[in-house]
Structure 1
């Protein structure tokens, strides 16, 4: 109870916060608070709900109550006003929170971010299975360096802290405005070793990435448990068996094949070399990004189906060169990429947008990696990391 520790006059307002704050901001009664502490609710906002319509009146476009509460609080603060919020870190990346990120970075300076390293300890009674952060913002102030601290849980026993220049938190040339939160480290110097500098976009190396286009429930009539005459392979995450794909698989719950039909043909890719990444990883897996290679000689068909829970690296909707497919797979399976990815992604989902945001080695480096990797049998994590380091240090 704050009144037990501070001489405060408390006024409890039983109003709908979104409605009340929107009205105050609309009619210029906002911008009057100097301090705010938030532990906002976590729930999606329906796109046609009254709350969503109210938020749009004042230019706030967001998909969750927690980000709506933070946005309204920002607009309700005086210049120099300070905000501390404990929230999931899902807003740090992805297209759905881009508008919120832009609004927050436009109106506030980030002073301090605290990251809880465990997903299920801080709010286990609420069932929130995302990494949570505490963020300290100041309204209308110049952005400077950012303090980043970490602890396993809210006991703060293993509390660590480090200071980063802002361009390491939000990249100057990132149109998505992803917010990168460094993983737990021992010292600032260690981050240089873990995050080698790569400067190429996928466009620079002539590669695209897309979500697997086959949504199985939409083509349910054409699914087949096993391949038969007139079918093509349908690849799911369950077919991943490093370093390649095992297809068909007996005894799985998912179908192995898709009938070739005018309704399905538009979703298929020509046979070729592809690097594919699972869109979802389990919490227990050591890496968020899990990539493998699909090889054309493993199939006797001219077309391949990629299910919607995969991301597919391709060139103009066709296969890659064998060397590029192997080089991309090696790079994406590296510890450097895993650490880099965890800086802005706090959940187990890996979207095509996230993969587009990663900076890649040059085409030449990837081809060199691929020429080496394709002649190996099974690569250990140490071999992957050492080979990548040998070409980039």
Structure 2
């Protein structure tokens, strides 16, 4: 059945431009992934009601139906499929006929209702209900991955969980949870981006309050998750995950985290069991931390020793003020009387700020009355690149900035840099060395990768990173200062392990 559905899908894909499908956020699930997602379903009920809110070609519904029949318990299956893309509705109709024929052969009653409306808008009244018992036993989906405007109809319908620019996929996740019955099963394949970041904060709060997350599957590959053995291929360059859980107000003690390279090696899955408290730390941000091996678990336990977060300790990472396209009239390539240094990520080199850098980027900023808001007084800080390439070994790439070693009284930073401040006072020399040591260590690097699966390094997440007590941070900084004097002006990538040795000496 699934191969026949995929054969029809490949014919559709070959006749429809990928660029046009991408504009709808439409990416098809490979057979292996659909079977794997369906295999997570555990219900043994004789009557089962399924929701597939982004039905596409109907493959996920087919996989669940096949799985339920193979288990031998289902006698009556009801399915509601939503698909409002007119281009694919004829393909879906053809594939529904295949599913119906399969159920008829297996002597299982099947009731299918296809909805051509917008899934979010069509269920707005249900979303607004204060109390609802839920309609479905299972919801399974590969939702559209599509950024939409805050003023879009879908955003307005679910405004309570929208912040900044929303993505359609997390609105589908939230609405699906709302429509599940208590203990109903939830299986979604989505980008990993919802697990952290300010834009998803309200959604995470709702989702984690409503769901018992029991299993997560991570794909190590960023570009081959939607490549199937059957020849169909959709290239998506992002971190992807499968989330399985049940609708419940209580969270299970443990979460299973499974890892595979891509969709084609789902038979070679590695698994670790993690205490849910380690994955879902307390805090207003509701982050979802995702370890992937035993070393990650050791780092999580290590971080439990830290008494404060960056923000709780009185520090804060901020993002550079200057957005170039909004400040074109103040950007300068040459030094003038009214200019100050404009620091970019290209000024971060081997753990230090190099200015001016050998780059095509403008290195100066013109100070006028209307641009003074972007000016920073020269002081000790740590800079961090906001974006790194996937192939780079480190996400956290800090640079130490010492005020006494910089020849300018003022500077500003472009918004591809993060920088550290101390609220109400200046950062001491040993504190800045201490932060640099933490951020250049393998331990903090591993923790950040668990916190954020993207190549972006966001100030909001940095501010939730655990750090040692004040006296320990200063001890780390003083030790680092002595090491730097032994080794020269700056640490280099080759001896980055020195940071971890310092932490072992100072923290254990």
TM-score (norm 1): 0.91
Match of 1:387 in 2: 502
Q: Cα–Cα, structure 1 residues 346 and 259, in superposed 2: closer, same or farther, change >3 Å?
A: same
The CA deviation at 1:121 is 1.4
2:74 aligned partner: none
- Larger helix proportion of the pair: 2
2:218 paired residue number: 115
More deviation in 69-78 or 27-36?
27-36
1:319 and 1:243 mapped to 2: Cα distance?
21
| Cα deviation, residue 40, structure 1 | 0.4
Other structure's SS at 1:161 match:
strand
* 2:193 maps to 1:90: yes
Question: How many Å separate the matches in 2 of 1:192 and 1:18?
Answer: 37
1:169-218 residue CA offsets vs partner (Å, 9 max, x unmatched): 1112x111101111x21478645677563221224433222111122233
Change over 3 Å in CA distance of 1:340–1:189 after alignment to 2: closer
Cα distance, 1:228 vs. partner? 2.9
1:10 is matched with: 112
- Conserved 8 A contact 1:146-1:164: yes
Q: CA deviation at 1:68?
A: 0.6
1:362 is aligned to 469
Q: Of residues 253, 258, 278 in structure 2, which corresponds to 1:168?
A: 278
Q: 1:329 aligns with which of 412, 436, 439?
A: 436
How far apart, CA to CA, are the structure 1 residues paired with 2:425 and 2:355?
20
Please state how far the C-alpha of 1:13 moved relative to its aligned partner: 2.3
SS at match of 2:407: coil
Corresponding residue for residue 90 of structure 2: none
Q: Indicate which of 153, 158, 183 corresponds to 2:262.
A: 153
Question: How far has the Cα of 1:220 moved from its partner?
Answer: 1.8
CA distance in 2, matches of 1:61, 1:188: 31
Residues in 1 aligned to 2:311 and 2:132: alpha-carbon distance in whole angstroms: 47
1:259 CA displacement: 2.1
| Helix, strand or coil at the partner of 1:122 | coil
Please give the secondary structure, in 2, of the residue aligned with 1:96.
Answer: helix
SS, match of residue 374 in structure 1: helix
Cα distance in 1, alignment partners of residues 415 and 300 from structure 2: 35
Task: Give the gaps of 5 or more residues in structure 2.
Answer: 3-61, 63-98, 228-232
Aligned-partner Cα distance in 2 for 1:241–1:187: 29
Aligned residues: 388
> SS state of the match for residue 188, structure 2?
strand
Matches of 1:46 and 1:143, distance apart in 2 = 33
Is 1:177 the equivalent of 2:286? yes
Provide the secondary structure at the position in 2 that maps to 1:10.
strand
Partner of 2:168: 65
Alignment partner of 1:213 out of 321, 326, 337: 321
Residues 223-280 of structure 1: per-residue CA shift (max 9 Å, x gap): 2213233321111100111121111123x22111112322222211111211111111
The answer on whether the counterparts of 2:342 and 2:411 sit within 8 Å (CA) in structure 1 is: yes
Change in Cα spacing, 1:266 to 1:336, as seen in structure 2 (3 Å) is same
Can you list the C-alpha shifts for 1:55-109, whole angstroms capped at 9, x where unaligned?
23xx443611110111111011111100100111111111111111111111111
Does structure 1 residue 242 correspond to structure 2 residue 344? no
Q: 2:479 aligns with which of 364, 367, 372?
A: 372
Deviation at 1:29, TM superposition (A): 8.4
TM-score using structure 2 length? 0.71
Give the equivalent residue in structure 1 for 2:58: none
Asked if the contact 2:383/2:420 (under 8 Å) is kept, the reply is yes
Correspondent of 2:305 among 177, 182, 197: 197
Offset at 1:127?
A: 4.2
Q: CA deviation at 1:11?
A: 2.9
